[in-house]
Amino acid sequence: MPHKKMTKPSRKRRLPTSDALEILHRRYVVGRPEQEGALEEARLNASIAQEIYDLRTKAGLTQKELADLIGTSHSVISRLEDADYEGHSLKMLQRISIALHHRLQVRFIPVEARRKVTA
């Protein structure tokens, strides 16, 4: 019987990169569920804030003008447009969407299946 060489189970190797963000992502986020969740939440908050800002400026409104339209203060609008703000409520987002003549849509998107890594 021929002698077979023992090899380690193959793991998908990532290509080397010089992209600093990719390096940091690989080092501190990948494979860490808490970090992955926090990053996803931060991305969502930033996306909502940017969308509110974009719609408001496209409508030619100041924060105060939008605030007056929905019955709140300009500081609330400022907070909602802050990427670090975590308190977006559906009710407030609906009020903003109505004032800006848009329809609010919430979607649930499947998450990629997580690989189980065995030792």
Whether 112 contacts 76, CB under 8 Å: no
Please report which helix (H) or strand (E) contains residue 96, including its range.
Answer: helix 90-99
Q: What is the mean pLDDT of the chain?
A: 82
Give the pLDDT score at 42.
Answer: 82
Could you say which architecture CATH assigns to the domain 20-99? Orthogonal Bundle (1.10)
The secondary structure of residue 114, as a DSSP letter, is P
Residue spans of the domains in the chain: they are 20-99
Nearest to residue 90, comparing CAs of 108, 105, 102? 105
| pLDDT tens column, 25-83 | 776 677 777 777 777 788 889 999 999 999 999 999 999 999 999 999 999 999 999 99
pTM, rounded to two decimals = 0.69
Q: How far is CA 86 from the centre of its chain?
A: 11
Determine the Cα–Cα distance for residues 55 and 67; give it in Å rounded to an integer. Answer: 13
Give the pLDDT score at 15.
Answer: 78
Whether 48 contacts 88, CB under 8 Å: yes
**113 three-class SS:** coil
Query: How buried is residue 43: exposed, middle or buried, by Cβ count under 10 Å (0-12/13-18/19+)?
Result: exposed
Give the pLDDT score at 18.
Answer: 77
Give the pLDDT score at 58.
Answer: 97
pLDDT at 12 over 90: no
Residue type, 33: P
Whether 78 contacts 63, CB under 8 Å: yes
| pLDDT tens column, 100-113 | 999 999 988 887 75
